[in-house]
Amino acid sequence: MTSQQLPEHDLTGRTCLVIGGAQGIGAAIAIALARAGGSLVIAGRHHDRLAATASAIEASGGKVTRAVVDVADVDSIGALAAGLGEQGLSPSILVNCAGLGGMGSAFEVTPEQWDGIHDVHLRGTFFACQAFGRRMADDGYGKIINLSSTWATTVGVGRSVYCAAKAGVSHLTAALATEWAPHGIRVNALAPTATLTPTIEQRLKEHPEREAYLRDRIPLGRLALPEDIAGGAVFLASPASDFVTGHTLDIDGGWRFSK
């Protein structure tokens, strides 16, 4: 695929791994990285969804490899890293985009619900960073992009567990950036607002009143599209951001400034 980006956003020659690249924000990021010239590996739990994203990348002339992973299972992450290594694939760009939604009264949250959300968002993110960061350290260069959220710094009713997990992702991002900077690894995060992914679209169909609530908190007056988030990922993956690390980039239409 020929890069259509500015030269400093050119990812030609870079292998990019997007975990959670099957649909929604992850798929949009994978497609955007491919358009910037990157060779993609997309990983997730669902074969059919991965195939659809891979087809979109290949239709535009991009290179893509698919792999199955469950980030809630640390052994699965290790198997992904080992499998890619056996194929001679060494990602210099890692995007941790696997997600799991969750709302509910803090009085009613069970340990299983807490663990389910934190295992995917926080534990899985850490161990994916660890698994692929080691090789980046050996190479002396790497870019890691974690998916945080506006809920990392704002709050809402029924969001206690999710807010805690995403705040953890942003703080983990800063901690790893500090520890791994001597190895040439830049670690940053994206913090989207409510985004019209297939999961959110289905939820809004079930609770249409919630869309107005979310939209009213966003000064730009609409929910985000997955493509709105992808531009930030290209920037953080590219040489244009080589002096940026430990940062969480809000892509929220002004959400954090609203009342």
Residue 5 lies in a domain: no
- Is the distance from CB of 67 to CB of 91 less than 8 angstroms? no
- pLDDT at residue 8 greater than cutoff 90: no
Residue recorded with tokens 């080691």: 134
Domain that holds residue 224: 15-257
Tell me which residue of 254, 185, 246 sits closest to 224, measured CA to CA.
254
Domain of residue 44, CATH code: 3.40.50.720
- What is the rounded radius of gyration, in angstroms, for the C-alpha atoms of the chain? 17
User: How far are the Cα atoms of 19, 65, 89, 148, 177 from residue 55, in angstroms, in the given order?
Assistant: 17, 11, 20, 27, 34
Per-residue pLDDT at 202: 86
CA distance 218 to 252: 7
Kindly state the tokens that stand for 83. Answer: 């499998």
Which of the four pLDDT bands, split at 50, 70 and 90, describes residue 259? low
Of 127, 162, 235, 255, which residue is the catalytic one? 162
**Cα 101 off chain centre by:** 14
Mean of the per-residue pLDDT values of the chain: 94
pLDDT in tens, 184-233: 999 999 999 999 998 888 888 888 888 888 899 999 999 999 999 999 99
Does any domain span residue 7? no
Confidence of residue 6 (pLDDT cuts 50, 70, 90): low
Please state, in angstroms and rounded to a whole number, the distance separating the CA atoms of residues 39 and 161: 35
CA atoms within 13 A on the CB side of 148: 30
Whether 3 is covered by a domain: the verdict is no
- Is the pLDDT at 2 greater than 80? The verdict is no
> Is 213 a known active-site residue?
no
Crossing angle for the helix pair 124-139 and 160-180, to the nearest 10 degrees: 10
Inside any domain, residue 105: yes
Question: For residues 140 and 144, what is the distance between their CA atoms, to the nearest angstrom?
Answer: 13
213 lies in a domain? yes
Task: Report yes or no on 183 lying in a domain.
Answer: yes
Task: Give tens-digit pLDDT for 98-117.
Answer: 988 778 899 999 999 999 99
Mean pLDDT within 21-38: 96
pLDDT in tens, 153-164: 999 899 999 999
Q: Number of structural domains, the chain?
A: 1
Does any domain span residue 6?
no
Nearest to 142 by CA among 228, 14, 18, 232: 14
112-148 per-position pLDDT tens digit: 999 999 999 999 999 999 999 999 999 999 999 999 9
In a domain, residue 8? The reply is: no
